[in-house]
Chain A
Amino acid sequence: GNSVTQMEGPVTLSEEAFLTINCTYTATGYPSLFWYVQYPGEGLQLLLKATKADDKGSNKGFEATYRKETTSFHLEKGSVQVSDSAVYFCALILSGGYNKLIFGAGTRLAVHP
């Protein structure tokens, strides 16, 4: 079946450290891929997306590249801030029909000063 696997958290970093959150997927077909972020007490916000292989999504200093050969969509940021502390969700959706977003379990990031 279709699924998303994220690295387990929490991920704890110091401010200005480099961030990588791994995400791999299994899908029948060619999915679009997303990263959502959830700040404490809030709903989910779309952070970035990529709709085809080799696309790079980017927003707010975060980047992720759609790697079809490794079925991955890892989230990276060169220098994290305390305000980046949140839960990050990787997700996929397949085209056609009434397909729905399939989410990973989420990875909590805590950034300390």
Chain B
Amino acid sequence: DVKVTQSSRYLVKRTGEKVFLECVQDMDHENMFWYRQDPGLGLRLIYFSYDVKMKEKGDIPEGYSVSREKKERFSLILESASTNQTSMYLCASSLERVLYGYTFGSGTRLTVV
């Protein structure tokens, strides 16, 4: 089975800190995605990447950046964390032929205080 591993299940960070959320997949998937999930707002796409060193903005990229230096790893960076970035963050990956769907990680619940 494809595994998508997010480095932390729970994180607590202070306002203004630089925060790194790491995601690793082990099945050579071309595409990787970062979503945030908030009550009443569903899943919102932050950034995605379809190849190493490539990235595309999703629906809500403001306040975030990403890095994909290796095919298996996709990092989400909060340059200066704010309380409105408190959320559940979900990483996903897929084959280039996305018709097979995505595989999600278990999520990172980030609290910014």
A49 part of interface (Cβ distance < 8 Å): yes
Q: Using a Cβ–Cβ cut-off of 8 Å, how many residues does chain B contribute to the interface with A?
A: 24
Nearest neighbor of B107 in chain A, beta-carbon distance: A43
CB proximity of A106 to chain B, nearest CB, Å = 6
Task: Please give, as numbers and ranges, the residues of chain B lying within 8 Å of A104 by CB-CB distance.
Answer: 42
- Tell me whether B99 and A44 are in contact (CB under 8 A): no
Contacts of B48 in A (CB 8 A): 98, 100
Question: Which residues of B (80-113) have their CB < 8 Å from a CB of A?
Answer: 90, 92, 98-107, 109
Which residues does chain A contribute within 8 Å of B4, judged by CB atoms?
43
Question: What would 8 more interface pairs be, CB under 8 Å, given A42-B106, A51-B99, A100-B58?
Answer: A41-B109, A43-B106, A44-B90, A44-B104, A93-B99, A98-B50, A98-B56, A100-B48
A interface, CB within 8 angstroms of B? 32, 34, 36, 41-46, 49, 51, 89, 91, 93, 95, 98-101, 103-106
| B contact residues around A103 at 8 Å (CB) | 42-43
The answer to whether B104 touches A43, judged by C-beta atoms less than 8 angstroms apart, is yes
Tell me, rounded to whole Å, the shortest Cβ–Cβ distance linking B51 to chain A: 10
- Residues in A with CB closer than 8 Å to B77 are none
Instruction: State whether A106 touches B42 (Cβ < 8 A).
Output: yes
Taking CB atoms, residues of chain A closer than 8 Å to B33 are 100
Chain B residues whose C-beta falls within 8 Å of the C-beta of A98 in the assembled complex: 31, 48, 50, 56
Q: List 23 A-B contacts (CB under 8 A).
A: A32-B99, A41-B107, A41-B109, A42-B106, A43-B4, A43-B6, A43-B90, A43-B105, A43-B106, A43-B107, A44-B92, A44-B104, A46-B102, A49-B100, A51-B99, A93-B99, A93-B101, A98-B31, A98-B50, A99-B98, A100-B33, A101-B102, A106-B42
